[in-house]
Amino acid sequence: MDFGLSEEQQLLEASLRRFLDAELPPPRVREVMAGERAHDATLWGELARLGVAGLLVPEEHGGSGLSLLDAAIAAESLGRAAAPVPFLGTAVMAPVALAAATPAQRAEWLPRIADGRLCVGVALCESFARYADAGVRREGDRLHGRAMFAVDAGAADAFLVAVGDELAWVERSAAGLEVGLLRGVDETRRSGELRFDATPVAAWVGGRGAADAAASLERALAAGRVALAADLLGAAGRCLERAVAWSLVREQFGRPIGSFQAVKHLCAEMAAEIEPARSLLWYAAHAFDAAPAEAPLLALHAKAHLAEVGSFVARTATEVHGGIGFTAECDLQLWFKRVGASRAMLGSPDALRENAAALHGWAPV
């Protein structure tokens, strides 16, 4: 028995952190996020060469066929860097959703995902939430309506769209598709509103009426939630690191503020929230591949709990920084905002807890 990261996983984490610390310091993050699409194809290409894009793509399609725990390790490192990259949709949700694809579809899409040439936006929001009049309907092989909060819309070359229980593949260049990029508080990732006007579906994942598309959609959502939880963990960890570093150099009353219990205890509370949450996240990611019966509940708990931990840590770290933490110049705000966005993405904590209660049979479905 072993409840921890393997040597390979520790290596993956170390090499990814080394790369991101060197190539993606906060000033670089700010440059990329200032762009309309918040996307830098060169950066994503380099990460793809490190294997990040193809972690979940099977080896036969040019990826490394690893587990969601490996993807979670990458997601944590990317959250730690506030990386403006299309990891969640392209490298996590799309490969999982494409489990339902036909062999020909997989051979067409997965290799290009793995080598970084194809970025996939994922529009599943309609399957679990309703925003005003949003909704997608199908007439034959054409889509009408509106899909909200498509993940990685800024970078996307194509979209996976939930249409009822089916998954449609829509090219970004398709006629009748308007992609409206949404600027939220978190500028490091750009989600989108997709407007369909008799937009042609390039392909139905697994073919029209594929029986397992609904299950794949659920799996993709669960994987996405675990990856977001990992991103939140990385962001929270970075906030704590920065708060500790700041409290060691900032002096008031003639000594570092980190020597005052009022500040020390805030830092300790952050650590006490983060570390057990990391253990929960590891297990939720592990269960996705190894314990399918427990996985759905754990994905919900991981996302909801890490969202709470992330919010607590981001605000507490800001308080430790004092006034400087509230300025635009201070990089801490990048993580504060990323946490805020991750908290709401793919389901807010209270909604996910209610889903978890329903899985237990404690709440109406």
**Chain residues that interact with another protein, rule: CB under 8 A:** 1-6, 69, 240, 244, 247-248, 255-256, 258-259, 261, 263-265, 267-269, 271-273, 275-280, 282-283, 286, 290-291, 298, 301, 304-305, 308, 350, 353-354, 356-357, 362-363
User: Which element (helix H / strand E) includes 252?
Assistant: strand 251-252
C-beta of 314: minimal distance to another protein in Å? 17
> CB of 316 within 8 A of CB of 361?
no
Q: Which of 243, 211, 298, 240 is nearest to 79 (CA)?
A: 240
In the complex, minimum distance from the CB of residue 65 to another protein, in angstroms, rounded to a whole number: 16
Residue 237 Cβ, how far from another protein at the closest point, in Å?
11
Output 16 or 299, the one with its CB closest to another protein. 299
Which residue, 145 or 258, has its beta carbon nearer to another protein?
Answer: 258
Nearer to another protein, 182 or 268 (CB): 268
- Which distant-in-sequence residues (6+ apart) come within 8 Å of 108 by Cβ? none
**Closest to another protein by CB, 13 or 157:** 13
Apex 87 CA angle, 83 and 91, nearest 5:
160
Angle at 342 between CA 282 and CA 36, to 5 degrees: 130
> What is the smallest separation between the CB atom of 166 and another protein, expressed in angstroms?
31
Question: Which lies closer to another protein via its Cβ, residue 15 or residue 279?
Answer: 279
| CB closer to another protein out of 77 and 216 | 77
Distance between CA atoms of residues 205 and 177, nearest Å: 19
**246-254: Cβ within 8 A, 24+ apart:** 246/320, 246/321, 246/324, 247/320, 250/322
CB of 68 to another protein, least distance (A): 11
- If you ran DSSP here, which 8-state letter would residue 60 be given? G
Q: Which is nearer to another protein, 33 or 233 (CB)?
A: 233
- 201 to 42, 118, 159, 172, 197: CA distances (angstroms): 29, 17, 10, 11, 11
Q: Which two tokens stand for residue 251?
A: 């002096």
**Taking each helix axis from N to C terminus, what angle separates 26-34 and 332-344, rounded to the nearest 10 degrees?**
60
Q: What is the rounded CA–CA span in Å between residue 314 and residue 308?
A: 10
Query: If residue 158 lies in a helix (H) or strand (E), which one and from where to where?
Result: strand 158-163
Tell me the H-state helices in 98-153: 103-114
Which residue's CB is nearer to another protein, number 37 or number 305? 305
